[in-house]
Amino acid sequence: MLAHLTDTARQLAAILWQRHTVYRDRTGGVVIRGEHVQRWISLSATGTRGEVLIRAGRILDGGTSAPARAETVMRLDSTPGELAAACRRLLADIAAGAAPEAARAPEPGRPPRPARRPAKKARIALWVVLATVISASVLAALVAYSSYSAASGR
């Protein structure tokens, strides 16, 4: 199974990127690294026979691999073209979600949004809830004190 997985990964790497590195990882899967695009793809056997788990992620600045951001399961006997199409979809998903919301460029003709602050209504509601809790606590203490006073005859 591992030999077939390695052969498939080499064929897939040649389709996806001209410059790539293919190696085995600690879990027995195969990783394809595209340093020039800062992405990686891993292929590993799943629990069911004949299926492969394809995961994709980014390569961070120091060369370390970020955790997988997208994954799918495919039949290992799929054609290299089908596997490459699945990998491209995963890579596109990663590219779409790669930049954090604040770092993304605003739409043309639209000014950038200022940082969000809690709405006034939310702050007022928080104060009302806090005042209600404090009032209920004070009321409970007064009731307990009056009950104690009445019971002791004072």
**And the tokens for 129?**
């809830």
pTM strictly above 0.75: no
Distance in Å from the first CA to the final CA of the chain: 87
Question: In CATH, which of 3.40.50, 2.30.31, 1.10.3720, 3.90.1720 is domain 2-99?
Answer: 2.30.31
> Residues 6 or more apart from 152 whose CB is under 8 A from it?
none
Q: Summarize pLDDT for 94-110 with one digit per residue, the tens.
A: 887 655 444 445 556 66
Domain boundaries of the chain, sorted by first residue:
2-99, 118-154
| DSSP 8-state symbol, 60 | -
Q: Summarize pLDDT for 53-106 with one digit per residue, the tens.
A: 888 888 888 777 777 788 889 888 888 888 889 988 888 888 876 554 444 455
Q: Summarize pLDDT for 107-152 with one digit per residue, the tens.
A: 566 666 565 566 777 788 888 999 999 999 999 999 999 988 888 8
Residue 44: closest CA among 59, 58, 56: 56
Instruction: Report yes or no: 43 and 71 within 8 Å, Cβ to Cβ.
Output: no
**And the tokens for 123?**
């702050």
φ, ψ of residue 148 in degrees (nearest 5): -65, -45
